Amino acid sequence: MRMVPSSGKSTGRRRAICSGLQALVLIANDGLIAGLLNRNKLTTGNGNRWTRERVTSLRSHHKIPVYRSAENGAEPWLNLTRAAAYLGVSPKTLRLAAESDDIRAMQATVQTCIVHLLRHSLDFVSWKDRKPVAAALKHIYRAVDAAAGEAALTAFDEGVWGKRYPAIGQSWRRAWAEVIPFYAFPADVRRILYTTNAIEALNSKLRRAVRARGHFPSDQAATKLLFLVLNRSEKEWIMPPREWCMAKAQFAVLFGERFTRAMA
């Protein structure tokens, strides 16, 4: 395959393809890579569709190592069927359990999104009352600890807005077990924890990638695509939040070796 020198845009595209190829060879052979490139509407320098031979030629030209499958043909991907077999349940049972949030890590600490809880609370409020109700709710999630937060919630329930909109207090109490982990951290660290917008932005990228493909021949193919999206997204994570250093210190104290192993 001959790569034709052209404009800066074409050069940038070639670099992007080579960068993607370096990640793809870790999980896919040349034939699968050709299919992925074609589904992404990427062409060779001559504007041709990718084939296994063309991918092999490009990989050899840039000295990119070849994909090596796992020993005994076993792949590291744990799809729904294999996970269900390990647990001794049907794939449908496992999928329904995951979708209903019945499966959680034994040592996980679950924190609800405070921003979503606030938005849900304001859904019950008329437009003219939203600003004062939002101000009243600040006393709950800005409390110094869980006990003070619960006292503020009780005060809200017994106050003017709580009596006018009782559904707000009920929604907070239903989620209270997943609100209180938030209070273990100082105010600076809470700025990182109080919203899941960053996680949702990443989830949105994953959903868009899946919708664009429509269907997959297997769970493994879908898992590989999600891996590539995550690998590409990771390059955008350049600057951590200002509070991250303080947050790391707090996480190291609270979670000990679990956190230090994850950071290694």
Question: What is the CB-side half-sphere exposure of residue 11 using CA atoms within 13 A?
Answer: 4
Residue 100 lies in a domain: no
CB 112 within 8 A of CB 179: yes
- Give the pair of three-digit tokens for residue 13: 């595209």
Residue pLDDT, tens place only, 45-89: 788 888 888 888 888 887 777 766 555 444 545 566 766 776 677
Predicted confidence (pLDDT) per residue in 163-183, tens digit: 999 999 999 999 898 888 888
Cα angle, residue 220 at apex, residues 216 and 222 outer, rounded to 5°: 45
The rounded average pLDDT for each run of 10 residues, N- to C-terminus, in the chain (264 residues) is 47 69 70 76 80 84 69 52 71 71 63 88 92 93 90 94 93 89 80 76 84 79 85 76 76 76 71
Which residue, 161, 184, 207, sits at the end of a domain?
184
In the chain, the number of structural domains is 3
Q: What is the pLDDT of residue 72?
A: 46
50: domain range?
8-61
Whether 259 and 208 map to the same domain: the answer is: yes
Asked if 149 and 209 sit in the same domain, the reply is: no
Other C-beta atoms closer than 10 Å to the C-beta of 84 total 16
Are 175 and 220 members of one domain?
no
Last residue of a domain, one of 29, 46, 61: 61
Whether 244 is covered by a domain: the verdict is yes
